[in-house]
Amino acid sequence: MRETLAGTGDLVRLGLRRDRWLLSLWILAFAMMSWSSASAGAGLFPDKANRIEAANTINAAASMVALFGRVYDPTSLGSLSMIKYTAFMTAAVAVLMVFVTIRHTRADEESGRLELLGGGRLGRNAPLTAALVISFGASLVLGLLSGAALAATGLPAAGSLAFGLGWAATGMAFSAVAAVSAQLTTSARAANGMGVIVIAITYTLRAVGDLAEPGPSTLSWLSPIGWNQQIRAFAGDHWWVLVLPLALCVALVPATFVLRARRDLGGGLRQERPGPARGALAGVWDLAVRLQDRMLVVWAVSVVVFGVVIGSLASSVTDFLSSPNAQDLIKKLGGAQALTDAFLAAEIAIMGVLVAAYGVSAANHLRSEEIAGHTEALLGTATTRTRWATSHFDAALAGVALLMLLTGLSTGVGAAFALHDGSQVGRVTLAALAQIPAAWVITSVVLTVFGWTPRLTAAVWGLLAVFIALGEFGVLWNAPQWLMDLSPFQHTPLLPVGSDGIGALVALTATAAALATLGYLGWRRRDLTA
């Protein structure tokens, strides 16, 4: 035991040193978002009647239940205020923990850093143990801090603790899932992908399970994200449910060490098969597509599934117009006028932001390829800088456009069936296409930063997070208008609600083009750096 764990402490210290900014910023962000949401809830739903009205509306709308889950105690302010956080933001916590765990396991192994350290006095199980110590610890701190933030807004202490421990336990469960996936694949990218797919599946399981009447069906109980909802913080505080994610950890962690013991350093469980001896890649464009296509396929499948589900829920929105308050709430959540349109517009806007995240991640290939030294090999040939950068940038832009088209078509088809109205396909697709320019703007920012300050390329993720936070909380925070206006997503017309906005779309596209041009200028005049 002592032998296989030698050096774990040193690795934990090294990991915390590497992640001191990444982890503390993300943990703070989650705690702050919890605090914001709880404080906002207190203002939005001041009295009991108000809450019951809002909670019943959410519980009655299948679309809301599928997306966020049920409010289990309509009289509880905490239960209602945190409705977006019990499932949706919990999935975000899970994604963070998957990334952190893979970063310290497979990513280090793939890059050869672990080999360098392994030459020292390091036990075979030390790296995996250290990674789990870091991600379990981060989950615990994230959960407890968020719980404390909730209690600080005046919500009941017991419920706040239950909520925080829910996030902590769920984060730990998905860290364990990621630790398993790190043993199965040989690349960090694939391991991250596998973790995210598990999160998506568990999210969908609970969405379908929650829709069952009267309460959650077995399907919700099969999902760790469903468990987090069933803790029912602020609505009875079912403490015993916390046992489920912890039991999953107890089952998965030993399995991970068994898997690790059965494979070589750097290897996966699957043997590497020989590939083609001759290549069909004709140029940098083919290469960019080859490097980006797997991720694009995963995204495409996800948006189509999401789109069909959301679209088919469109009819349920109008089923529950019992009270003026209900209408008011959905208008607040959506945008304007017709409720179905407001609902579709809101969902498509969410998809627009998510697909923008795809654009940022795809465009980040520019920097990751340069750091890896691949760009040096390519620029040593007759390939020009512009041509190489264009290949990745254009592939990112095309991916964004394709994903929004698929979102529109799938949501439209779903809505057309639900509302028995074939014209929905065209309207909804158009609404989705209108999201493209804003996503292109943020994708182009990656190229601009890459061209001028390459070391900050990954910081565009932070910018995207700020834009998302402004969209979500800007009004509640009383953010000044000029700050709100910085976000490209603020300028996208909320179709299919209105029809205005061609001018804004043209302006956004022009902005994207200007940012890209600026990026190319910088890239053509700077040194290659690592």
Q: Does 258 engage in binding with another protein (CB under 8 A)?
A: no
Pick out residues in 430-459 that bind another protein (CB under 8 A).
455, 458
Terminal CA-to-CA distance of the chain, rounded, Å? Answer: 40
Q: Does 521 engage in binding with another protein (CB under 8 A)?
A: no
What is the spatial distance between Cα 479 and Cα 489, in angstroms, rounded to a whole number? 15
Pick out residues in 400-429 that bind another protein (CB under 8 A).
none
How far apart are CB 71 and another protein at their closest, in Å? 38
Q: Which residue, 481 or 529, has its beta carbon nearer to another protein? A: 529
Q: Does 526 engage in binding with another protein (CB under 8 A)?
A: yes
How far apart are CB 461 and another protein at their closest, in Å? 10
Q: Does 113 engage in binding with another protein (CB under 8 A)?
A: yes
126-152 helix and 243-261 helix, angle to the nearest 10 degrees: 160
Structure tokens at 26: 């993300």
Q: Does 382 engage in binding with another protein (CB under 8 A)?
A: yes
Q: Which residue, 3 or 527, has its beta carbon nearer to another protein? A: 527
Q: Does 187 engage in binding with another protein (CB under 8 A)?
A: yes
CB-neighbour burial class of residue 330 (10 A; exposed 0-12, middle 13-18, buried 19+): buried
How far apart are CB 319 and another protein at their closest, in Å? 47
Among 24, 75, 323, 381, binds another protein (CB under 8 A): 381
What is the spatial distance between Cα 507 and Cα 437, in angstroms, rounded to a whole number? 9
DSSP sequence for 168-222: HHHHHHHHHHHHHHHHH-SSHHHHHHHHHHHHHHHHHHHHHHHHSSSS--HHHHT
Among 43, 120, 214, 274, binds another protein (CB under 8 A): 274
How far apart are CB 459 and another protein at their closest, in Å? 10
Q: Does 269 engage in binding with another protein (CB under 8 A)?
A: no
Whether 130 and 8 have beta carbons less than 8 Å apart is answered as: yes
Among 201, 212, 269, 281, binds another protein (CB under 8 A): 281
How far apart are CB 379 and another protein at their closest, in Å? 6
Q: Does 510 engage in binding with another protein (CB under 8 A)?
A: no
Q: Which residue, 243 or 377, has its beta carbon nearer to another protein? A: 377
Whether 94 and 118 have beta carbons less than 8 Å apart is answered as: no
Q: Which residue, 120 or 380, has its beta carbon nearer to another protein? A: 380
Q: Does 117 engage in binding with another protein (CB under 8 A)?
A: no
88-104 helix and 20-44 helix, angle to the nearest 10 degrees: 180
Residue 123 DSSP SS3: coil
259-268, long-range: CB within 8 Å, 24+ apart, which pairs?
259/180, 259/183, 259/184, 260/124, 260/125, 260/128, 260/183, 261/124, 263/183, 265/109, 265/114, 265/115, 265/118, 266/109, 266/110, 266/115, 266/186, 267/186, 268/183, 268/184, 268/185, 268/186
Among 254, 373, 422, 498, binds another protein (CB under 8 A): 373
How far apart are CB 14 and another protein at their closest, in Å? 11
| Interface pattern 213-232 for another protein (x via CB under 8 A) | --------------------
Among 97, 130, 291, 314, binds another protein (CB under 8 A): 291
Q: Does 384 engage in binding with another protein (CB under 8 A)?
A: yes
Q: Report CA-CA distances (Å) from 42 to 46, 223, 410.
A: 6, 30, 37
Q: Does 18 engage in binding with another protein (CB under 8 A)?
A: yes
Q: Does 263 engage in binding with another protein (CB under 8 A)?
A: no
Q: Does 22 engage in binding with another protein (CB under 8 A)?
A: yes
Q: Which residue, 122 or 288, has its beta carbon nearer to another protein? A: 288
What is the spatial distance between Cα 483 and Cα 360, in angstroms, rounded to a whole number? 21
Give residues in contact with another protein (CB under 8 A).
Answer: 18, 21-22, 103, 110-111, 113, 186-187, 272, 274-284, 286-287, 290-291, 367-368, 371-374, 376-385, 387, 455, 458, 525-530
